[in-house]
Amino acid sequence: MKIKACLFDLDGVVVDTARYHYMAWKKIASDLSFDFSEHDNERLKGISRMESLDILLEIGKIKVDLHTKEELAATKNSLYISYIQKMTPDEILPGVIRFLDELHNGGILVALGSASKNAMSILDKINIAQKFDAVIDGNKVSKAKPNPEVFLKGAAELGIEPNDCLVFEDAQAGIDAARNGGMHIIGIGQPENLKNADFVIPGFETMRLDQLISWYS
Ligand code: B16
Ligand code: MG
């Protein structure tokens, strides 16, 4: 098989933290007196905190100075941290642990590639950090997805060529990042929302190493 390493996005792939991001951004919008819908929240998936805030303010048609933006981002993050503090391993998405174990047993290296600066505390809360051979998060990169930096750093830390890596992503920005990095890509979600992936699967419940081997041989 061509694949020697698998790189996993966090939010939407390993856990569903998108709803916590949404709750926090909705509170910020409400404090600024506008509504923020779940539909609009789709635009925030996979992109950085400050870019998310820019989109939120654009939706609310609100202009603020840089200092206020930094305060809003800090408030959103405090709210988000208060939600993720309560997370438990039960929130790991179905099939993820079994599939990670199958990859390890099959000699495939595994890394996390997340835009989130809170990724390490989430991994600790859900007790899964030890399953990853490398963790690249929002603190280790300076260029947000769709720039491939997060995945290229993951590949480099594992010592694997990008062309031998497979990325699992739920956001278009992440799929574009993996493609820009010259990696193979499986989308997690609905095919109509995820363009340019090699394959799209609904989740890991039915995903098996044998399937990867047959797709990438
Ligand atoms: P933070 P991922 C991303 O995580 C989220 O999808 C995105 O909604 C969020 O804005 C971004 O992390 C930054 O998160 O504010 O915690 O640094 O999908 O790349 O795992
Ligand atoms: Mg994601």
pTM for the whole thing?
Answer: 0.94
- Per-residue pLDDT of 48-65, as tens digits, reads 999 999 999 999 999 999
Cα(9) to ligand 2 centroid in Å equals: 5
Fold of 18-84: DNA polymerase; domain 1 (1.10.150)
What CATH number was assigned to the domain covering residues 5-16+89-215?
Answer: 3.40.50.1000
Query: Which residue of 15, 116, 136, 168 sits with most ligand 1 atoms within 8 Å of its CB, as the best mutation to test the pocket?
Result: 116
Q: Which residues are catalytic?
A: 9, 11
- Per-residue pLDDT of 83-137, as tens digits, reads 999 999 999 999 999 999 999 999 999 999 999 999 999 999 999 999 999 999 9
Cα(22) to ligand 1 centroid in Å equals: 11
The CB-based long-range contact list for 15-19 (8 Å cut-off, 24+ gap) reads 15/87, 15/91, 15/92, 15/93, 15/122, 15/126, 16/91, 16/93, 17/84, 17/87, 17/116, 17/122, 18/45
The closest ligand to the CA of 13 turns out to be 2
The residues of the chain that CATH labels 3.40.50.1000 are 5-16+89-215
Tell me which residues have their CB closer than 6 angstroms to ligand 1: 9-12, 21, 44-49, 52, 77, 114-118, 138, 171
The residues of the chain that CATH labels 1.10.150.240 are 18-84
1 band by pLDDT with thresholds 50, 70 and 90: confident
